[in-house]
Amino acid sequence: MAEKKNGKRPVTVPFGTLSINGKSRALVNKVLDSNRVSCGKYVREFEKRFAELVGAKEAVALSSGTDADALALAVLYDFGAHRGDEVIVPALSFVATGNAVLQAGFTSVFVDIERNTLNIDPLKIEAAITNKTRALMPVHLIGKPAAMDAINRIAKRHKLIVIEDAAEAHGAEYKGRNAGTLGDMAAFSLYVAHIITSIEGGIVTTNRKDYAEILRSLRSHGRACKCDKCVLNTASAYCAKRFKYGSSNDIRFVFERIGYSSKMNELEAAIGLGNLSDYHSILARRRKNLGYLTDKFKRFAPYLLTIEAGAKEKIGPHAFPVIIQECAPFTREDMTAYLEKNGVETRTLFSSMPTQCPGYKFLGYELGDFPNAEYIGNNGFHIGVHQDLKQRELDYFLKSVADFLSDKIR
Active site residues: 194
Nearest CA to 210 out of 256, 165, 179 is that of 256
Q: Which helix (H) or strand (E) holds 62?
A: strand 58-62
**Coil, helix or strand at residue 203:** strand
Secondary structure element (H or E) that encloses residue 27, with its range: helix 22-34
Backbone φ and ψ for 69, nearest 5 degrees, come out as -60, -50
Nearest C-alpha neighbor of 304 from the set 335, 276, 349, 278? 335
The number of CA neighbours under 13 Å toward the Cβ of 272 is 32
SS3 354: helix
d(CA 15, CA 331) in angstroms, rounded, equals 21
Q: Are strands 133-136 and 161-165 parallel, antiparallel or unpaired?
A: parallel
Q: Alpha-carbon distance 60 to 47, whole Å? A: 6
Residue 25 φ then ψ, to 5°: -60, -40
